[in-house]
Structure 1
């Protein structure tokens, strides 16, 4: 008896929730019974051919009603009027309601930060939310023209003001593997980490590296020692607060602070961009090519070296080396290669 009681309440719950299998079962039962009623009523034109019956049922249930098929006998008309029309409309409305409800629930969950973007490929994930800085980060990512068209924000803030076009993921922790997976870290292209504290940022960097060994991670730290450890252990690119240096520059060289801010923003004047060469390249050739493109070479870095070389530059940039330039917009690899003479020049922008 308890088993039957549990089974009854289970079925009752499924019926109230209008589960998919219940809806399918109701559809099959209703249209099968309807076919039988029409057959008994002598509506052979509707029941002799399966496709014809399905077509008639679909046009009737959806209220389209082309009129090319309809009951001809009095009994068939009564079946249609008192059984098929109301039943088909009820089934069709229930199916639409179930579909619309599922879509609305999915959209609501995504809007509330409960979505799952683990299968998203090439996403740019921002970990941590700051009411003033995060919208500017999104604006600069879009303006940087580096393929950041899928931006996911992972935050602990309940009332985060999410910029338009950004996917939201909410979690109580930023350094836990589960929310980072939901934010798309396993297949992400890059990640920007700016958590509430250096300790949380450090742990988040380690968790990200555990999920994705190749994703490029940029993380902000207040403390230089913590930033150095994160760069060495987690292999992330660290950005350290340089308020004191910028303040001194602005005091000693008026206007320098404004220029430093402008060079960091992709939507203001010129900005620093980077590219990589896949084969050895003479720096003089590269410098001349950038000049013809109204760009300015400012630094180069050799592969496997952490230091950057400024003017005067080395004569040769080895394969795998990176160069940094100032320009109003990011230039494609093909444009730089063509300006550098093409041929054996191979650039990855």
Structure 2
């Protein structure tokens, strides 16, 4: 009884420590002992060919049992019954279990945001505001239409809210270098920062600007004074202030304004505001010519331009649009190809 307890304790300890290396060594020992025992039992028909021997072990261990090869001697049958089948079944089950564990761990790490994201030229969203963030991602998906990957980077303990649709990374801090590298901060083409706390947004924006100064940086602030502070340090950053109060006041004075603003911002239906850059190699063109071109060829309305000195809404018809000017227009869908004047 003492020997049996010792054997059980030893076996339990070995199986608990059965890592990949030990499993491989156990498999090699099993294959070697199986060949030796079958050879001693006179089963040369199973052991004379390496491919036939391995085929027989796999078929036996996996319980498929085609029956095309089997032991012919009494000793060989005992070897197969007492060693080859039990040992093969155990190793086969352990191997399948380990493979399943690896795949589940890989899938779970992706779902929990613990895996490094291998993407480039992507949109990186920093922050989690529940339904507002989900609505933002849905709008980005509609706009991008698979042109750029969307990566959501959050701090709270949560799972990917849209598995299979977006990439997901969970970080300890938006200023932690190792964590942010997993989100591909250095290769992102656009970084959107939206957090419940403005101080976290400001710190994240300053960090992102230092790590990836070429990215289009957008930051949403509740307090407009922090927008000015960020602009003073990062002139290229685009700060999005809260306009809820302004929309309330405008709707109170001009009824229906809130619906108009929502229509201009929504990408799912109706007319929406878009932007396009006038070609850098183009020639200066008056607003009147571009206004007619937009309306006649694309059923779009030119509403403003930005020549580098700020947005000019409802520009005069004789105003010249210079190369590189950002043009804002309203259309049912984004226009991918314009026939610019020569």
1:174 partnered with 2:177: no
Q: How far is 1:258 from its partner?
A: 1.5
For the 8 Å contact 1:186–1:212, the answer to whether it is kept is: yes
Is the alpha carbon distance of 1:40 and 1:121 closer, same or farther for their aligned partners in structure 2, counting shifts above 3 Å? farther
> What's the C-alpha RMSD, in Å, of the aligned pairs?
2.8
Is the alpha carbon distance of 1:50 and 1:288 closer, same or farther for their aligned partners in structure 2, counting shifts above 3 Å? farther
Aligned residue pairs total 324
1:279 partnered with 2:284: no
Which residue number corresponds to residue 6 of structure 1?
none
Q: How far is 1:268 from its partner?
A: 3.4
SS in 1 for 2:311: coil
Is the alpha carbon distance of 1:143 and 1:26 closer, same or farther for their aligned partners in structure 2, counting shifts above 3 Å? same
Which residue number corresponds to residue 331 of structure 1?
335
1:293 partnered with 2:294: no
For the 8 Å contact 1:152–1:169, the answer to whether it is kept is: yes
For the 8 Å contact 2:273–2:331, the answer to whether it is kept is: yes
User: Which range moves more in the overlay, 90-99 or 272-281?
Assistant: 272-281
Is the alpha carbon distance of 1:57 and 1:331 closer, same or farther for their aligned partners in structure 2, counting shifts above 3 Å? farther
Structure 2: how far apart are the matches of 1:180 and 1:194?
Answer: 16
SS in 2 for 1:272: strand
Is the alpha carbon distance of 1:224 and 1:38 closer, same or farther for their aligned partners in structure 2, counting shifts above 3 Å? same
For the 8 Å contact 1:249–1:256, the answer to whether it is kept is: yes
Is the alpha carbon distance of 1:294 and 1:37 closer, same or farther for their aligned partners in structure 2, counting shifts above 3 Å? farther
Which residue number corresponds to residue 211 of structure 1?
211
Is the alpha carbon distance of 1:233 and 1:131 closer, same or farther for their aligned partners in structure 2, counting shifts above 3 Å? same
Is the alpha carbon distance of 1:77 and 1:220 closer, same or farther for their aligned partners in structure 2, counting shifts above 3 Å? same
1:116 partnered with 2:115: yes
Structure 1: how far apart are the matches of 2:86 and 2:47?
Answer: 19
TM-score by length of 2: 0.83
Q: How far is 1:93 from its partner?
A: 0.8
Per-residue CA deviations over 1:65-112 (Å, capped at 9, x if unaligned) read: 33333333332222222211111111111011111112222323333x
SS in 2 for 1:258: helix
Is the alpha carbon distance of 1:30 and 1:219 closer, same or farther for their aligned partners in structure 2, counting shifts above 3 Å? same
Which residue number corresponds to residue 308 of structure 1?
311
Structure 1: how far apart are the matches of 2:120 and 2:59?
Answer: 41
Which residue number corresponds to residue 223 of structure 2?
223
Q: Which runs of 5+ in 1 are unaligned?
A: 1-10, 345-349
Q: Which runs of 5+ in 2 are unaligned?
A: 1-10
Q: How far is 1:149 from its partner?
A: 6.0
Q: How far is 1:168 from its partner?
A: 3.6
Is the alpha carbon distance of 1:42 and 1:284 closer, same or farther for their aligned partners in structure 2, counting shifts above 3 Å? farther
For the 8 Å contact 2:171–2:180, the answer to whether it is kept is: no
Is the alpha carbon distance of 1:71 and 1:272 closer, same or farther for their aligned partners in structure 2, counting shifts above 3 Å? farther
Which residue number corresponds to residue 152 of structure 2?
153
Structure 1: how far apart are the matches of 2:159 and 2:52?
Answer: 54
For the 8 Å contact 2:117–2:167, the answer to whether it is kept is: no
Structure 1: how far apart are the matches of 2:123 and 2:274?
Answer: 17
Structure 1: how far apart are the matches of 2:65 and 2:280?
Answer: 65
For the 8 Å contact 2:122–2:187, the answer to whether it is kept is: yes
Structure 2: how far apart are the matches of 1:228 and 1:176?
Answer: 25
SS in 1 for 2:302: strand
Which residue number corresponds to residue 126 of structure 2?
127
Radius of gyration: which is bigger? 2
Q: How far is 1:144 from its partner?
A: 1.4
Correspondence list, 1:1-349, <5 A: 15-111=15-111, 113-145=112-144, 147=146, 150-158=149-157, 162-164=161-163, 165-234=165-234, 235-276=236-277, 277-281=279-283, 282=285, 286-291=290-295, 292-302=297-307, 305-310=308-313, 311-312=315-316, 314-318=319-323, 320-332=324-336, 335-336=337-338, 339-340=339-340
TM-score by length of 1: 0.82
Runs of 4+ that moved beyond 6 A? 11-14
SS in 2 for 1:22: helix
